[in-house]
Amino acid sequence: MRLNSYDDFTPLKEVILGSADGYVARLPDLSFDMFISDNLTGARGYYPSITDWRPGEDRRRRNEPHRLAMKTRFLDELTADVEGLAGQLRDLGIRVHRPMALDPDLGELATPAWSAPVTPPLNLRDNTLILGDEIIETPPTLRARYFETQFLKPVFAEYFRAGARWTTMPRPMMTDASFDPENVSSAAPNIEVPDPPQSSPYDVGLEIMIDGANCLRLGRDLIVNISNANHALACDWLERHLRGRFRVHRMHKLTQSHIDSVVIPLRPGLLLVRSERVLDFLPEQLRTWDTVVSPTPELHDYPQYENGDPIPPSPYIDLNLLSVDEETVLVNDACKTLIRILEDRKFTVVPVRHRHRRLFGGGFHCFTLDTVRTGGAEDYLG
């Protein structure tokens, strides 16, 4: 089929699903430190990096045999859960594309300014934005994911040959000077202050950086969450590039990064929201939509891990569901209360297992990139 994806709720026909094969660990660096806060709850945000963590007792202990054995088990279970999601999507009649396999011997990637290990292409929603018939590769916000979209090239090329547009936003140098420190200066008090930025001969100042998961797609409208100067520059680029085809709306500091575990359009006129406070940040036209308010997550909703394993994702990560159509949603099978609330609203809920979402980051929406839905450039905000 030809690329066609304008929203997150009309019938889903084709999707790209990420892969956890080759995942090593998730440990922060400076680019991770700039990507960590949740303005609504004070919880840490997400996603994974596998660069070195700061030295310390936990760092020294993380390769002890019993910890390595647990990590191996968790990684195997993550892979099994992602493959289970693939099977469920196929059972629903959806064509599932997959990224290229990550060579286990690939090692680090390097640019003139820095080096970092390579992460597998798991959370595909972050580094690509699909708008109608166009693939837009977004400028990464995490160094270890700089070349992640390269693993999607065979799939993108197939859509391009069928008529899709294919664009790459400007790639940042990503030196320490590239990052707006606003994410840290306005962060919740539980956020670690990153190591002092280091100067580089490749410094170019603040750069365009944003993830696709900062954006909410509604037909001909694109709502962009902006929390720093990097996002604002990216929104400038999107406005100029999309002028005449899409209306771009700026939303300021709903979170410091992704919004797909905060506000989720389930169908025209109905939003799933983390709390009623979310409405205060949305464009005025969306505030009139009906809402389903998420239940508050409980500690027992998630697996518990040894002290010293950083748990960056928000406890609301399970709102990161995937809509198959306006009546059917894929939800983590551990979320009994959320499932019941959605069923009370007449949704067909397909429960799918995803055990370690807070350890590794990401949910079903993060793992997927919907490339073909039946909806078009509708005016949902008119």
d(CA 226, CA 218): 17
Structure tokens at 297: 């997550």
Q: Is the per-residue pLDDT at 37 higher than 80? A: no
Residues 331/352, Cβ–Cβ less than 8 Å? yes
The whole-model pTM stands at: 0.88
Contacts of 367 (CB under 8 A, 6+ apart): 17, 18, 82, 85, 122, 123, 124, 125
Instruction: Look at residue 70 in the predicted model and tell me its pLDDT.
Output: 59
Distance of CA 193 to the CA centre of its chain: 23
Residues 38/255, Cβ–Cβ less than 8 Å? yes
The pLDDT tens digits of the residues spanning 152-178 come to: 999 999 999 999 999 999 999 999 899
The pLDDT tens digits of the residues spanning 300-321 come to: 666 666 654 545 556 777 889 9
Average pLDDT of the segment spanning 135-149: 93
Share of the chain above pLDDT 70, in %: 79
The pLDDT tens digits of the residues spanning 94-131 come to: 999 999 998 877 778 889 999 888 888 999 999 999 99
Instruction: Look at residue 304 in the predicted model and tell me its pLDDT.
Output: 62
Residues 264/321, Cβ–Cβ less than 8 Å? yes
d(CA 12, CA 323): 8
Instruction: Look at residue 169 in the predicted model and tell me its pLDDT.
Output: 98
Query: Taking all residues of the chain, what is their mean pLDDT, rounded to a whole number?
Result: 85
Judged by phi (left if over 0) then psi (alpha if -120 to 50, else beta), residue 326 lies in alpha
Instruction: Look at residue 185 in the predicted model and tell me its pLDDT.
Output: 63
Average pLDDT of the segment spanning 237-257: 95
Contacts of 149 (CB under 8 A, 6+ apart): 121, 127, 128, 137, 156
Q: Is the per-residue pLDDT at 143 higher than 60? A: yes
SS3 160: helix
Amino acid at 190: N
Report which of residues 95 and 73 the model is more confident about: 95
The pLDDT tens digits of the residues spanning 264-300 come to: 999 999 999 999 999 999 999 999 999 999 988 776 6
Residue of 194, 26, 181, 45 lying closest to 116 (CA atoms): 26
Residue of 301, 255, 260 lying closest to 277 (CA atoms): 255
Element containing residue 323 per DSSP (H, E): strand 322-325
Q: Is the per-residue pLDDT at 34 higher than 70? A: no
